[in-house]
Amino acid sequence: MPLPGLFDYRAGGEVRPGQRVIVPFGRRELVGVVVERPSMPAIAEEQVRDVAQVLDDVPPLPEDWLRLAAFAADYYQRPLGEVMLPALPGPLRRPAAYRGKRAGGGPVARLDARAARAAGGKRKGRPGKAGASGDGDVVAGDRAAAGAPGGAAGMTATAGPAVPGDGLVPARPALSAAQQAAVDALAALQGFRPVLLHGVTGSGKTEVYLHAAERVLAAGRQVMLLVPEINLTPQLEGVLRRRLEAVAGVRGVAVLHSGLADGERLEAWLRAVRGEARVLIGTRLALFTPLPELGLIVVDEEHDPSYKQQEGLRYSARDLAIWRARDRGVPVVLGSATPSLESWHHATAGRYLLLSLPERAQAGQLPAIRLLDTRPLRLEQGLAPPLLAAVEARLQRGEQSLIFLNRRGYAPVLHCDACGWVSGCRRCSAYMVLHRAVRPGLAGGPYRHELRCHHCGWQERVPAACPDCGNQDLQPMGRGTQRLEEYLAQRFPQARIARIDADSTRLKGSAQKLFAQVHAGEVDILVGTQMVAKGHDFQNLTFVGVLNADAMLFSHDFRAPERLFAQLMQVAGRAGRSGSASEVFVQTGYPEQPLYQALVRHDYVGFARYALDERAAAGLPPFAYQALLTAEAGELAQALGFLAQAREAAEAWAAAGDAAAVAAQPEAGSTRRAAVAPMVSAGAAQPAIAADMSRITLYDPVPLRVVRVANVERAQLLAESDSRPALQAFLRSWTALLPTLPGASRVRWQLEVDPLEI
């Protein structure tokens, strides 16, 4: 049976698995990757078309890379081409880059030629050899995975150059005892071993990674270091880069992330693939880079949701990193102050080696965390008086404060007091958010306000009067970071205030600039969303105020408390990192909540135990495995109808399985139901299934929380099992069946394995 996304082509005898080829596909050409050489094509021989060109400008993609891609395709239930092609730098997957007079042997040859010229060398770029094509005497086709036509790489481009700005050469501090113990434990590892490095915020995890990396480099191996979002942590990248360049040389360190231009990405990728780069630092997409001499993988902030790709191939780079480390027989280090409950569960069960850094590296204590019960307090623009007093005190001492509010814009909704009208989006079941916009070229005002939908991007002017009743006095309700910034500027006119959120950092390089200002001490009060919570080593910050944390406390998503706790620990961890006494105030109406109580004690372990007990009692991950089927359609009924069909089909399998299990009668005394072997089921058209349906639970199809986005209505169906293999087997059959359902033509559906948000 042909694997989905595999296509047969005929080529001469020279192609090898892992080689790229240009092939005709319909009426266009695509770049494909040769994955196997079957003895018989899967289609009639006369229909097999010829490979147009064999590309040999880079070595064939190595076997372990092909294994990784095959695993990811199988595990996440996507066509192989959709895994492989987006994993390659853009120019390597565009036929046009190799065609025409100006192609000059292709993008690699052009890049090499330019590098040679720049180096002043006389070497000419290697011409790309056109491989054997067409009249091959080998009958069997070569099977290549081709990208789906029109399928684009699903990487969201975020702005930002790779070079951060502080310019300091980081010192090499003497290791603390805990750091030394961790470094020693890592040095003793041989072969595959997952390690969870649990270190409180500011405990110096980076230093541990660096020592481990240096050791692996000295042994002549390569290191892969994954970080969440490079644009958000330019400082970390800078520290890692400069320290490792000292060992591996400037060209020995390559950085890969989605903000790079095509040429930059190709250049860094090539250095890694050719073994010239000894260290690869990158975001989730870097996980797919071939590294011939890989000796260690590090995943920093392993709990971070940005390791999960949210479109196309919805993979977890952390989970694939562990698979890749096992496949390559090397250690993998996951680091975090607030590990994902999945990783923590593995570590406490002994499946991962647990290493701890219980104290901060620099002399200081962790900040004192205080819950401000807002119920008896009179708030000033949402701010409690003790919080304002704390900011005031920092201003007087010349120290920095951070106010954390995870909601961008001016106000989440505009409202008419007279008739109750609210600013809804005409295309989504969501509110339009009030934003303060700066006219281009007029930084600092005058401002105008506008309404923006955070779901579909729709923008419109603020109505001069209520569209329903004509009331001219429309009021913003609630507040976002812009309104907070405005109020703080009024309240503390002498303070220098900066706001860091997705709006203030839209322009390329602006995030780096803002962070550099904070590090340089040019900011007194920093207002920010979760962008400021991650990994930043602010040395002069001694106060953090947290607003509106309660919004996440009662979410329907069972992972919300885990995310909230991690976010609060992380943002609190930005304070007092240089050793000075520091405070964190969290405003809440529910100070007695166990989550907040654990936070005050800095008690990740206690929180994890409590949260895991709850998950175990409810049969939720990591004690169960999930997949989410989402359907989108013009009308909700169509989406729900398709999901209902999908569920009925699976129930028919289960019923057929019951019948078969009864007929087959398992060995005497055994109550375990045998896995249902392929068999004829109810309808003749129904494919058979080889999965143990008794271990699969399918929930009711339900509308998404925000049902309509850009006039598309969405619903989802959750599938769950206590066994990963059982779920995988089921999904394989299910995804083959779904396109044949009667409702399939009216919806767009997608399946997400191990979904993070439900």
Ligand X SMILES: Nc1ncnc2c1ncn2[C@@H]1O[C@H](COP(=O)(O)OP(=O)(O)OP(=O)(O)O)[C@@H](O)[C@H]1O
The reply on whether position 332 binds ligand X by CB under 6 A is no
Among the listed ranges 22-30, 119-127, 200-208, 524-532, the one in contact with ligand X (CB under 6 A) is 200-208
How far are the Cα atoms of 53, 89, 312, 733 from residue 152, in angstroms, in the given order? 22, 12, 9, 26
Contact in structure between 209 and 332 (CB atoms under 8 Å): no
204 binds, among Zn ion, ligand X, none (CB under 5 to 8 A by kind): ligand X
The single residue among 93, 94, 143, 205 that binds ligand X, judged by CB under 6 A, is 205
The partner in contact with residue 176, picked from Zn ion, ligand X, none with C-beta cut-offs of 5 to 8 angstroms by kind, is: ligand X
Residue 437: CB atoms within 10 Å: 14
Stretch that binds ligand X, among 194-202, 220-228, 429-437, 729-737 (CB under 6 A): 194-202
**CA dist list (Å): 552 to 372, 560, 564:** 17, 6, 6
Place of tokens 């919080």: 387
- Only one of the segments 18-26, 173-181, 495-503, 627-635 lies at the binding site for ligand X (rule: CB under 6 A); that segment is 173-181
Provide the minimum distance between the beta carbon of 708 and Zn ion in the complex, in angstroms, as a whole number: 8
Work out which of 306, 362, 471, 555 binds ligand X, going by CB under 6 A. 362
Q: What are phi and psi of 181, to 5 degrees?
A: -60, -40
Contact with ligand X (CB under 6 A): which of 153, 361, 631, 633?
A: 361
Total Cβ atoms within 10 A of residue 720: 18
We find the least distance from the C-beta atom of residue 525 to ligand X, in angstroms, to be 21
Instruction: Give, as ranges, the residues between 418 and 477 that touch Zn ion (CB under 5 A).
Output: 425, 427-428, 453, 455-456, 458
Peptide bond into 17 cis (omega under 30): no
Asked if 176 touches ligand X (CB under 6 A), the answer is yes
- Residues numbered 575 to 614 that lie near ligand X (CB under 6 A) are 577
Least spacing, CB of residue 500 vs Zn ion, in Å: 25
Q: Give the shortest CB-179-to-ligand X separation in angstroms.
A: 6
Q: Which of residues 533-552 bind ligand X (CB under 6 A)?
A: 535, 537
Using DSSP bridges, classify how beta strands 459-461 and 541-547 pair: parallel, antiparallel or unpaired.
unpaired
Strands, sheet with 222-226, edge to edge from the N-terminal-most edge strand? 253-256, 279-282, 222-226, 294-299, 331-336, 193-199, 353-357
Q: Are 536 and 574 in contact (CB under 8 A)?
A: yes
β-sheet bridge partners, residue 447: 438
Q: Does residue 573 belong to the site contacting ligand X (CB under 6 A)?
A: yes
Q: Which of residues 107-136 bind Zn ion (CB under 5 A)?
A: none
CA 637 to chain centre: 31
Is 109 marked within a binding site? no
CB of 159 to ligand X, least distance (A): 23
432 annotated among ligand-binding-site residues:
no
CB of 210 to ligand X, least distance (A): 9
- Residue 290 near which of ligand X, Zn ion, none (CB within 5-8 Å, type-dependent): none
Nearest Cα residue to 475 out of 434, 504, 505, 512? 434
**Minimum distance between the CB of residue 172 and ligand X, rounded to whole angstroms?**
9
Q: Is 416 a known ligand-binding residue?
A: yes
CB closer to ligand X out of 56 and 302: 302
Neighbours of 333 (CB within 10 A): 29
- DSSP string covering 640-671: HHHHHHHHHHHHHHHHHHHHHHHHH--STT--
Q: Which is nearer to Zn ion, 458 or 492 (CB)?
A: 458
Q: CB under 6 A: which stretch of 196-204, 223-231, 409-417, 632-640 binds ligand X?
A: 196-204
Q: Is 469 known to sit in a ligand binding site?
A: yes
Q: Which of ligand X, Zn ion, none lies near 428, with the C-beta cut-off 5 to 8 A by kind?
A: Zn ion
Q: In angstroms, give the least distance from the CB of 710 to Zn ion.
A: 6
Transcribe 455-513 into DSSP letters.
TT--EEEPPSS-TTT--S-EEEES--HHHHHHHHHHH-TTS-EEEESTTTT-STTHHHH
**Per-residue interface string for the shown chain with ligand X, residues 222-241, x marking contact by CB under 6 A:** --------------------
Query: Strand, coil or helix: what is 193?
Result: strand
Question: Which partner in Zn ion, ligand X, none is near 453 (CB below 5 to 8 A by kind)?
Answer: Zn ion
**Nearest C-alpha neighbor of 691 from the set 630, 732, 662:** 732
Choose the contact partner of 232 out of Zn ion, ligand X, none; CB within 5 to 8 A by kind.
none
Q: Which residues contact 3 (CB under 8 A, 6 or more apart)?
A: 73, 79, 80
Neighbours of 671 (CB within 10 A): 5
In the set 18, 107, 204, 282, which binds ligand X (CB under 6 A)?
204
DSSP bridge partners of 411 = 434
Binding window for ligand X (CB under 6 A); candidates: 203-211, 382-390, 582-590, 625-633: 203-211
- Tokens representing residue 756 in the block: 């993070």
For residues 580 and 576, what is the distance between their CA atoms, to the nearest angstrom? 5
Nearest distance from residue 300's CB to ligand X, in Å? 7
Helix (H, G, I), strand (E, B) or coil at 697: strand
Taking the alpha carbons of 665, 667, 670, 674 in that order, is the dihedral positive or negative? negative
Residue 302 binds which of Zn ion, ligand X, none (CB < 5-8 A, kind-dependent): none
* 453 marked ligand binding residue: yes
HEC string of 587-602 equals EECCCCCHHHHHHHCC
Q: Tell whether 662 is in a known binding site.
A: no
Pick the closer one to ligand X by CB: 246 or 377.
246
Stretch binding ligand X (CB under 6 A), from 204-212, 279-287, 306-314, 373-381: 204-212
Residue 207 binding ligand X, by CB under 6 A? yes
134 near ligand X, rule: CB under 6 A = no
754: left (phi over 0), alpha (psi -120 to 50) or beta: left
Q: Which two tokens stand for residue 237?
A: 């990248």
Characterize the bridge pairing of strands 222-226 and 294-299. parallel
Residue (207 or 486) nearer to ligand X, CB:
207
Ligand-binding site membership of 461 (annotated): no
Extract the annotated binding site for Zn(2+): 416, 419, 425, 428, 453, 456, 466, 469
Under the rule (CB under 6 A), what is the footprint of ligand X?
173-176, 179, 199, 201-207, 337, 361-362, 535, 537, 573, 577
Binding residues for Zn ion, rule: CB under 5 A, are 425, 427-428, 453, 455-456, 458
